[in-house]
Amino acid sequence: MPFPYIFPIIFGELPGVQVLIGGEIPDLVKGSLSIELTIEERSIASFTLFDSLGADSYEWGQPVSIWDITDTRIFDGFVAEPEMRRVSPDGGIYHAIRCMDNHYLADKRLVIASYTNENAGDIVTDLLADYLAAEGVTLGEIQDGEAVSQAIFNYVSVAEALDSLAELSGFTWYIDEAKDLYFIDRITNLTDWNWSLTTPKP
């Protein structure tokens, strides 16, 4: 999916990355963007925005996506920690934003369900259909995993349920930047994609 807006020209130069937050394109402070993507850990992004009029506000849970110049979405998630600092009494605010990734969608949903004699992957598929699909999460890859004689989830988050199934199977699970759910063997996912991005300061 391409970036939904035309990249803005800033001082005659095309920016290398662009943030979309709450459906709007804010002014990203050069050199402030940092993204950390680590396998089997929550990915995080942080950046600073400049609001010249002092009229913008950002709240916990607002959707955030970050795109590069090739129309590739390199991070997708939600505002976790918005902070603001006024530059002057006349207006102008810096917003320091820290973001959580799409695992939040599994954190916010509670499971009340029980399963008997099913593969872990079948249970994951059921959790996807019954809880995560409503959050826009779709199927990435779900492998079978271990046979589960009994699983009882009583008001636990989907994330906790997936954690227990992944631990039982020696698997890992994640929801990527396209909101695709993966539940796969760790060996399948032994790719060297752990990386971090920090934009250079001027």
In a domain, 34, yes or no: yes
Q: Which structure tokens are listed for 128?
A: 């996807």
| Same-domain pairing of 29 and 96 | yes
| Same-domain pairing of 63 and 136 | no
> CA distances (Å), 110 to each of 78, 85, 140, 160, in order?
19, 36, 21, 9
For residues 160 and 153, give the distance between their C-alpha atoms in angstroms, rounded to a whole number.
9
Banded pLDDT at 13 (limits 50, 70, 90): very low
| Same-domain pairing of 126 and 93 | no
Using alpha carbons, select from 136, 129, 120, 134 the residue that is nearest to residue 173.
Answer: 120
In a domain, 4, yes or no: no
| Same-domain pairing of 125 and 83 | no
In a domain, 2, yes or no: no
| Same-domain pairing of 63 and 113 | no
Q: Are 142 and 68 in contact (CB under 8 A)?
A: no
Task: Give pLDDT, residue 191.
Answer: 52
| Rounded percentage of the chain residues whose pLDDT exceeds 70 | 85
| Same-domain pairing of 23 and 90 | yes
Strands 110-119 and 93-101: unpaired
For residues 128 and 88, give the distance between their C-alpha atoms in angstroms, rounded to a whole number.
48
Average pLDDT, the chain: 86
In a domain, 134, yes or no: yes
| Same-domain pairing of 137 and 68 | no
| Same-domain pairing of 175 and 120 | yes
In a domain, 109, yes or no: yes
| Same-domain pairing of 33 and 75 | yes
For residues 112 and 91, give the distance between their C-alpha atoms in angstroms, rounded to a whole number.
49
Using alpha carbons, select from 62, 46, 56 the residue that is nearest to residue 87.
Answer: 56
In a domain, 94, yes or no: yes
In a domain, 68, yes or no: yes
**Phi and psi, residue 121, nearest 5°:** -65, -35
pLDDT over 70 (residue 190): no
Domain enclosing residue 156, as ranges: 105-185
Q: Is the pTM of this model over 0.85?
A: no
User: What would the pLDDT profile of 14-62 be if each residue is shown by its tens digit?
Assistant: 467 889 998 888 999 988 999 998 777 889 999 999 998 888 999 999 9
Total number of domains in the chain:
2
For residues 129 and 89, give the distance between their C-alpha atoms in angstroms, rounded to a whole number.
51
Q: Are 200 and 157 in contact (CB under 8 A)?
A: no
For residue 121, what is the domain's CATH number?
A: 3.55.50.10
Task: Give pLDDT, residue 115.
Answer: 97
Task: Give pLDDT, residue 91.
Answer: 74
Last residue of a domain, one of 77, 101, 125: 101
Last residue of a domain, one of 37, 67, 101: 101
User: What would the pLDDT profile of 54-94 be if each residue is shown by its tens digit?
Assistant: 889 999 999 999 998 888 899 999 999 999 987 767 778 99
For residues 30 and 19, give the distance between their C-alpha atoms in angstroms, rounded to a whole number.
12
For residues 111 and 131, give the distance between their C-alpha atoms in angstroms, rounded to a whole number.
8
Of 21-30, 165-174, 184-193, minimum mean pLDDT range: 184-193
For residue 74, what is the domain's CATH number?
A: 2.30.300.10
